[in-house]
Amino acid sequence: MAYDLIVIGTGPGGYVCAIKAAQLGLKVGVIEKRATYGGTCLNIGCIPSKALLHASEVFHQTGHGIDALGVEVAAPTLNLGKMMAHKDATVKSNTDGVAFLFKKNKIDAFQGTGKVVGEGKVSVTNDKGEEQVIETKNIVIATGSDVAGIPGVPVEIDEKIIISSTGGIALEKVPATMVVVGGGVIGLELGSVWSRLGAKVTVVEYLDTILGGMDGEVSKQFQRMLAKQGIDFKLGAKVTGVEKAGDGAKVTFEPVKGGDAATIDADVVLIATGRKPFTDGLGLAEAGVVMDSRGRVEIDGHFQTNVTGIYAIGDVVRGPMLAHKAEDEGVAVAEIIAGQAGHVNYDVIPSVVYTQPEVASVGKTEEELKAAGIAYKVGKFPFTANGRARAMLQTDGFVKILADKETDRVLGGHIVGFGAGEMIHEITVLMEFGGSSEDLGRTCHAHPTMSEAVKEAALATFFKPIHM
């Protein structure tokens, strides 16, 4: 039986693509090498890490600060095994949910490793080495990404002492000390988890700021907040070696701008230097599919490779490695294959760091606008001036909105604060419809809410805030 579409990979991009295509009337099959669906995100990435972030925050809050609200309890006891069981149960409910959606939408699933073996042909090899060939009109590559090491530095990851994000969500005990190599989203999120649970965490970052391409002001203020929580930072530091030493490991680094090398000992070292596209064994080179210099699959404006009928989405193609970006691409390519007009607006893709407080961003940063020579105006509002934030003792952070100086069209929004990941979306929707800061500032917001700080930042952008 021939399919209209075979999707290789069932992460957020792949499974959403398959479901959307099935909803549009296509005969769809998926190929997944794992025993469960959902890819890195649902199995060992976004979902389990958020379960641990929430659980560790509840643990930390119980032991620090709720007495100020009149809630007095004995010091909490950590049951790490139970916390990990919560994480595992969360993963199972999500991966089972994808399996249910496949059945509901009559999508055929093939367990094994997928490979393009010819025009309109894909093979699936199971764990017994048995191979079958499937015929299909279209193929979507949605195989995601894998852990990237430290450029130029050989590192042996054993997921016990020297770990990746995979080991970072599965430690059997809380280490006394942890070094995190990389000050990006993954490193700061997992570093926060283990810091809250009792580890002394040090982050070693090559750049002079954490969170790479985030707005500079946001990055600096957020770093101060994490430092107050007890996380140490070594910025502008180039790691030259990571190796086991006794029962732990040691990390050697030197200043990027020159200077003497230094070494830090730790019980556990987390390598969080980013991710790389996963395309090994897919048969893309043999099929003539062009890759770029960074190992990503090259696609045109309609997600198609240079080979007719082969498409690619998500982490294997250009753009931010974000699950929701992959999902939007999955929907768009399904629509295109079904003969509709699929589109993704890459200027309006929010990103969130799920620490406490959260950091959320959409659109341009000040640095990007300056580099592009775009005249802009800035409006800011701190949560210290927000009534709901005061009531909840969540006054850390602020909202920042950037708008075109002439037209007032909002070009970017940045939030550091409790619930930032939820609040960013009203700025996202506003930008999707080309809205102005005045549009947002004149929109009625419920009182008292944290979101009023977003409205006040918008008011500050086009005129003046009320509560400052």
Write out the two tokens for 86. Answer: 């919560």
Residue 149 Rama label (left phi>0; alpha psi -120 to 50; beta): beta
- In this structure, the strands spanning 237-245 and 232-234 are unpaired
Residue 180, SS3 per DSSP: strand
Beta partners for residue 125, in sequence order:
113, 131
Burial label, 82 (beta-carbon count in 10 A; 0-12, 13-18, 19+): exposed
Phi, psi of 63 (to 5 degrees): -95, -10
Which among 64, 302, 343, 447 is annotated as catalytic? 447
Q: Mind giving me the DSSP string for 421-433?
A: HHHHHHHHHHHHT
CB atoms within 10 A of CB 117: 15
Instruction: Please name the residue that has the structure tokens 């989405």.
Output: 313
Distance CA 156, CA 162 (A): 7
Query: Is 324 in the active site?
Result: no
Q: Roughly what angle, to the nearest 10 degrees, separates helices 452-462 and 420-432?
A: 50
Range list of H helices, 158-298: 165-168, 185-196, 216-228, 284-287
Beta strands 162-163; 268-271: pairing state? parallel
- Phi then psi for residue 365, to 5 deg, are -95, 170
Amino acid, single-letter form, for residue 314? G
Residues 6+ apart with CB under 8 A from 299: 305, 311, 312, 317, 318
Q: Is 134 exposed, middle or buried (0-12, 13-18, 19+ CB in 10 A)?
A: buried
CA dist 191 and 231 (Å) reads: 8
- Strand order in 398-404's β-sheet? 351-353, 358-363, 410-417, 398-404, 376-382
Determine contact, residues 5/140, Cβ cutoff 8 Å. yes
Helix, strand, coil shares, percent, the chain, to 5: 35, 25, 40
**Three-state DSSP class for residue 203:** strand
Catalytic residue numbers, as ranges: 447
